[in-house]
Structure 1
Amino acid sequence: MTSLVPLPVHPAAHRAGVDDPDWTAMARVLVVRPDNVGDVIMTVPALRALRAAAPQARIDLLASPAGAAAAPLVPEVDDVVVASVSWQRLPGPVADEDADPDAELVATLAGRRYDAAVILTSFSQSPWPAALLCRRAGIGIRIGTSKEFGGDALTHWVPAPPDGGHQVDRGLEVLAAVGVPSRGVDLAVTVPITDHPAPAGRYVVVAPGASCPSRRWSPERFATAGRGIAGRGWTVVVTGTAKEADLVARAAAGVPGAVTLVGELDLAGLADLVAGADAAVVNNSGGAHLADAVGTPVVELFAGTEEVGQYAPRTVRAEVLTRPVACSPCRQLVCPFDQECLDIAPERVVDAVVRVARART
């Protein structure tokens, strides 16, 4: 007779009898968040809580090359391990199918002798690849959350928070389950003083870029909105990376007195610029979270790739503009339709800027 294989227990049951880590005894802790800038910024409340629970520990961040740019703004982070991890890469040609894509990273983590790893994910991401990597690196305590079973790769398998919860709350709930209380949900980062001169007078920052085409409002509509914003008395500063030069040029076209900054600012410089603005107009991208973190009101063009409630700014005045569509959340890099979710009239953006912009005396 065939014997039955026991079904995996629910995460809550798996946690029963497992002691919370002794955070006060740890020397080195790794926080894993290897995706985009905005995701790292939304990790700030979790890092702040962890720093308070383990004030003696060195806290390092495992981040992507893009996300690592945010680390200098976060005083709770002591060092950054920068890596393009295999489970975050898009499918494509493999140079050597027999090679271990994460072998070098495993060796790096092993050499740092971490006591614990906290793996933070969105609801649609799995912690198990990172957990397996951390186990290979000899990290004894591995904390994460997931609805699906992944064996003992996690030593502390936290029950999954609700899918629709905000990403900030998700990270804090994971830590609360292992004895780390929240220290607040605000995204406050350190804004450095840079040598990039700010525009004279009052200005609004416009950032037409995003990590993928499906999240980008039309640059021509940005330009129309920019003309309306300029007409209300603001200088419009359109900014982007060197790769976004064409996008910036199109978004600034015909905007009276527009200032364009292409590839001139690192993230620290951008934070300084945004912190001095009356408002920021952005896509659902890292720019929205950066503005939230430096206290600048936001008008956000939110594509249907994600759910608004998981990512919306919450600590500043903000208006999130989107259109409900049946295909949302799609998580597509390129919209297969006509971006109906971003069919937002520029006039609505101008009116929103007027409503949220901070008053100056």
Structure 2
Amino acid sequence: MSPRNDPIPAPLALDPRPRLGRDYSRVRGTDPAATRDRGRAQRLPDWSGVRRILVVRLDNLGDVILTGPTLRALKAHLPHVHLTLLASPGGAPAAALLPWVDDIEPCRALWQDLGRLAFDPARERDLIAALRRGDHDLALILTSFRQTPHPAALACALAGIPARIGESRERGRALTVALPHADDALHQCERNLLLIERLGVPVTDRRLEIRLPRAAWSAADARLAAHRVTGDYLVWNPFASCAARTYDPLRHALAARALAEYADLRLLVCGAARDRQRVGELAALLGPRGVDLVGETDLPEFAALLAGARLVLTNNTAALHLADALAVPQLVTYAGTDRDSQWRPRTSPHRLLRRPTACTPCYRFACPTEHECLALAPAEVLAAGLSLLAETSVRA
């Protein structure tokens, strides 16, 4: 039985010989000194010999959506290549909106959920076996500015993937090519694109993009008709995956209702199924214009509803990136957890609302103080929303 078909991982070869191509030190945007510092020559793959690529992007839904321009550029440059996306269960649904993905491999990785996910050797062996079955020639490991690529690279090495590429601050031998770490302040979408540009992949379009299946448009139209929504509407996404990025839902509800009333819009409240219990107390504040859709739509239908919105009101969460990909005006209550430059909309007309604080960026999941960065009065949110509506109405 060949090593590539063996269900039991072969002994780890930390420095295999990948399909070799150009000298790493000659690639645009890289640092030859960084290569020498690693103590071994690194060479990039000859793309003509690459048939199957594993793109690793774990984390949340929004993070996977931000891989879109990178996946699109890879497919444009290498149309023959089969792209498999390794994504978390939370991020995997984004693949339905990214037509450049040929296959999806959901994975809840131990190194992403340390402290929350129990160690289970059988689960880790299953992951290695699944990656081995993919018969990948190359693993492209995408990370945020705080993450290390090395655990994912180690898993790929155990699975026998010969070329493993990522950007890294640390020394390590699991990567076959370790690119210099980009500036922390760089937008996540640009970070992904820079990585492949350093590998010689041309990028002609940097815009965020998603594509909606026809069924999503039909489902959204049926949903609007069922609730007798015939004119313009506002989509309000009140929750985020972490408390530190969530504006006070009661204040948010008051601002959303006021915006809908002043601008003569219906108000669609959307969110994940896990937020059903949280939205109950807000329903009474929405008034007759409100339509509660929390937990009722899948991701493609939600995106189709966003595409038809006059305005999106959201926290810094996946809805921000979906609206940005769709160029829909959005008003974002943007917490001080992150720098504006890292996650903000790049294409859609928008306003970011937050208070400047000394602790920004904190990168916390929960605020240890009084959430001063989002101490926004509903009237302030209303004023910003009306201003954005007036501006985008003139553009239209």
Provide TM-score, normalisation by structure 1. 0.92
* Within-5 A mapping of 1:255-334: 255-256=286-287, 257-334=289-366
Consecutive unaligned residues of structure 2, counting only runs of 5 or more, are 1-31
Partner of 2:258: 228
Equivalent position to 1:39, from 63, 70, 83: 63
CA deviation after TM superposition for structure 1 residue 127, in Å: 0.5
Provide TM-score, normalisation by structure 2. 0.84
Equivalent position to 1:65, from 62, 86, 89: 89
Give me the whole-angstrom Cα distance separating, in 2, the residues matched to 1:39 and 1:267: 14
Aligned length: 350
CA deviation after TM superposition for structure 1 residue 275, in Å: 0.3
- The secondary structure found in structure 2 opposite 1:80 is strand
Consecutive unaligned residues of structure 1, counting only runs of 5 or more, are 1-8
Give me the whole-angstrom Cα distance separating, in 1, the residues matched to 2:267 and 2:35: 51
Q: Is the 8 A contact 1:142 1:153 kept in 2?
A: yes
What is the identity, as a one-letter code, of the residue corresponding to 1:131?
A: A
CA deviation after TM superposition for structure 1 residue 52, in Å: 1.5
Partner of 2:15: none
Q: Is the 8 A contact 1:131 1:154 kept in 2?
A: yes
* Within-5 A mapping of 1:1-361: 11-13=34-36, 18-92=42-116, 94=118, 99=121, 101-150=123-172, 152-192=173-213, 193-196=217-220, 197-198=223-224, 199-232=229-262, 233-256=264-287, 257-357=289-389, 358-359=392-393
Q: Is the 8 A contact 2:309 2:328 kept in 1?
A: yes
Deviations 1:36-74 (A, max 9, x none): 110011111111111122110110100001100110100
What is the identity, as a one-letter code, of the residue corresponding to 2:168?
A: S
Alpha-carbon spacing, 1:158–1:95, altered in 2? closer, same or farther (3 Å): closer
What is the identity, as a one-letter code, of the residue corresponding to 2:273?
A: A
Give me the whole-angstrom Cα distance separating, in 2, the residues matched to 1:206 and 1:222: 9
The CA RMSD over aligned residues, in Å, is 1.9
Partner of 2:17: none
- The secondary structure found in structure 2 opposite 1:102 is helix
Identity %: 41
Alpha-carbon spacing, 1:310–1:12, altered in 2? closer, same or farther (3 Å): farther
Give me the whole-angstrom Cα distance separating, in 2, the residues matched to 1:93 and 1:241: 22
Question: Which has a greater percent of helix?
Answer: 2
- The secondary structure found in structure 1 opposite 2:393 is coil
CA deviation after TM superposition for structure 1 residue 75, in Å: 0.6
Q: Is the 8 A contact 1:45 1:185 kept in 2?
A: yes
CA deviation after TM superposition for structure 1 residue 95, in Å: 6.0
Alpha-carbon spacing, 1:23–1:354, altered in 2? closer, same or farther (3 Å): farther
Alpha-carbon spacing, 1:323–1:117, altered in 2? closer, same or farther (3 Å): same
Deviations 1:173-215 (A, max 9, x none): 1111111121322111002323232322001100011111111
- The secondary structure found in structure 1 opposite 2:367 is coil
